[in-house]
Amino acid sequence: MKHQHESLRELAAAPELAHVTIVLIALDVLQRVLRVAHGPLDDQPPPTDGPSVVWAAEVIARVRPLRHALHRYRSVVLRALRPPKFHHDDDLPF
């Protein structure tokens, strides 16, 4: 998965974005390692599978919403750092 990297100015203003990026990369690595170890894991495995397969699938299922939340957080922070757009109509006295 491709990760977007923040500029130095953005990281100086919001250093937590570096941590968010590291966590996103770690989540990608975790998903890949679990899939190599246990197979696709996209669907909930039957309970007859071993507990490690069942819990690996559970971890994969929980990573998706966490990744989504981190991307949303990152977007909101970056949006807050951008200067507001200037509209020429804003400076008219009437």
27-43 tens-digit pLDDT: 999 999 999 998 887 76
Q: Using an 8 Å Cβ cutoff, are 17 and 10 in contact?
A: yes
State how far the Cα of 63 lies from the Cα of 57, in Å rounded to an integer. 10
Q: Give me the pLDDT at residue 29, please.
A: 97
pTM given for the model = 0.73
State how far the Cα of 61 lies from the Cα of 54, in Å rounded to an integer. 11
State how far the Cα of 87 lies from the Cα of 41, in Å rounded to an integer. 50
Q: Give me the pLDDT at residue 40, please.
A: 82
Q: What tens digit of pLDDT does each residue of 57-76 get?
A: 999 999 999 999 999 999 99
Domain ranges of the chain: 51-81
State how far the Cα of 60 lies from the Cα of 44, in Å rounded to an integer. 10
